[in-house]
Amino acid sequence: MNILGIETSCDETAAAVVRDGRVILSNIVASSLKQHKQYGGIIPEIASRRQIEFINFVVKRALTQAKVTLKDIDAIAVTESPGLIGSLLVGISFARALSFATNKPLIHVDHIKAHLYANFLTFKNNKKKQKSTVSEPKLPALGLVVSGGHSSLFYLKDFRHCRLLGQTRDDAAGEAFDKVARILNLGYPGGPIIDRLAKTGQNTEIHFSCAQIPNSADFSFSGIKTAVLYFVRDKWDKKHVPINKIAYAFQNSVVSALVNKCLEVCRKKRISTLLIGGGVAANSELRKRLLEETPKHRITTHIPALPLCMDNAAMIAGLGYHMMAY
């Protein structure tokens, strides 16, 4: 069964064809990120205008690259929520029209859960660089979605039954990366820039801490952002403390908070599979620490290949297949 996935929740316009909920035949992503950079964040009006410009081309390209035509598509899956309303509307309207015109079923998919589904996907011509960390995940699992808008923990019984255990009480992890990068004048999006700087900033002189929320699966990342702000404003000796040390101290604390919470919840719920998804799952330190530390607790961690951490339509088509198959 071939599912055409369409994803337009934010600044990416994406379409993909996925076979039997597993094999990615094509995965096309167009992004308006460049146009937002000068503003230091996503401008919804610009994002939705670009979605309209890109959508037709991106869907056609996904079909061509998959070497299929609309006749070979069995259903259309589209991101329903959450996201920017104007951007979402473009994808939903396009998918509805296509479904109506071709008389194929339309499946509405949750973007956050789809990020976790990325762990079940494989590329048709699976080259080394595209490979995921390990083979297919075993359920039930704990799912951590860390992106620009979300930091949530789910209990995943199966593809249809997914229960929210906890989430951020304020800023999302990716949002904290972006805001700290802004405080440090590093540009947008901040995550990849901080990730790169932190690689050469290892130190024990600077320490920022994330708020701990005991006996809860919730996170909090707004306090650490304020701590960085006060440090930069009041204490930073620019001559002697390079910026990469600040990046390291911040990233180290966020990564520790995420890893420790995952370990704590896995222990309490007796879960031995951990799935990660979302833009922050691309963070090299988070990937390294999870893969180092979770096996010590007999937990198998699955992290998607880098292109599948970011917003994409393959994850929408993949989860859509299971929503239709049940």
| Residue 279 sits in the site that holds ligand KG4 (CB under 6 A) | yes
C-alpha distances (whole Å) from 95 to each of 22, 89, 126 are 21, 10, 28
| Residue 91 sits in the site that holds ligand KG4 (CB under 6 A) | no
| Contact pick of 24, 27, 311, 320 for ligand KG4 (by CB under 6 A) | 311
Q: Kindly state the smallest distance separating residue 144's Cβ from Zn ion, in Å.
A: 13
Nearer to Zn ion, 111 or 245 (CB): 111
| Residue 304 sits in the site that holds ligand KG4 (CB under 6 A) | no
| Residue 280 sits in the site that holds ligand KG4 (CB under 6 A) | yes
Binding mask 132-161 for Zn ion (x = CB under 5 A): ---------------x--------------
Nearer to Zn ion, 32 or 147 (CB): 147
| Residue 137 sits in the site that holds ligand KG4 (CB under 6 A) | no
H or E, element range at 227: helix 222-230
| Residue 66 sits in the site that holds ligand KG4 (CB under 6 A) | no
In this structure, what is the dihedral angle of CA atoms 260, 294, 314, 191, given to the nearest 10 degrees? Answer: 40
Q: Kindly state the smallest distance separating residue 279's Cβ from ligand KG4, in Å.
A: 2
The partner in contact with residue 310, picked from ligand KG4, Zn ion, none with C-beta cut-offs of 5 to 8 angstroms by kind, is ligand KG4
| Residue 177 sits in the site that holds ligand KG4 (CB under 6 A) | yes
| Residue 282 sits in the site that holds ligand KG4 (CB under 6 A) | yes
| Contact pick of 189, 304, 318, 320 for ligand KG4 (by CB under 6 A) | 189
Cα(21)–Cα(106) distance, rounded to whole angstroms? 15
| Contact pick of 8, 13, 132, 147 for ligand KG4 (by CB under 6 A) | 147
Nearer to ligand KG4, 25 or 145 (CB): 145
Q: Kindly state the smallest distance separating residue 82's Cβ from Zn ion, in Å.
A: 9
Residues 320, 3: contact at Cβ < 8 Å?
yes
Q: Kindly state the smallest distance separating residue 42's Cβ from ligand KG4, in Å.
A: 9
Nearer to ligand KG4, 86 or 140 (CB): 86
Nearer to ligand KG4, 75 or 247 (CB): 247
Helix, strand, coil percentages, rounded to 5, for the chain: 50, 20, 30
- Cα angle: 273, vertex 208, 169; to 5 degrees: 55
The partner in contact with residue 210, picked from Zn ion, ligand KG4, none with C-beta cut-offs of 5 to 8 angstroms by kind, is none
Nearer to ligand KG4, 17 or 258 (CB): 258
Q: Among candidates 121, 113, 171, which has minimal Cα distance to 143?
A: 113
Q: Among candidates 79, 81, 82, 114, which has minimal Cα distance to 275?
A: 114
**Residue 36 one-letter amino acid:** H
Which sign does the torsion angle of CA 264, 268, 274, 279 carry?
A: negative
The phi, psi pair for 26, rounded to 5°, reads: -155, 155
Q: Among candidates 140, 144, 136, which has minimal Cα distance to 156?
A: 140
The single-letter DSSP state of residue 290 is H
Residues 99, 76: contact at Cβ < 8 Å?
yes
- Cα angle: 143, vertex 146, 149; to 5 degrees: 125
| Residue 191 sits in the site that holds ligand KG4 (CB under 6 A) | yes
Contact footprint for Zn ion (CB under 5 A) = 147, 311
Contact footprint for ligand KG4 (CB under 6 A) = 10, 147-149, 174, 177-178, 189-192, 195, 278-280, 282-283, 310-311
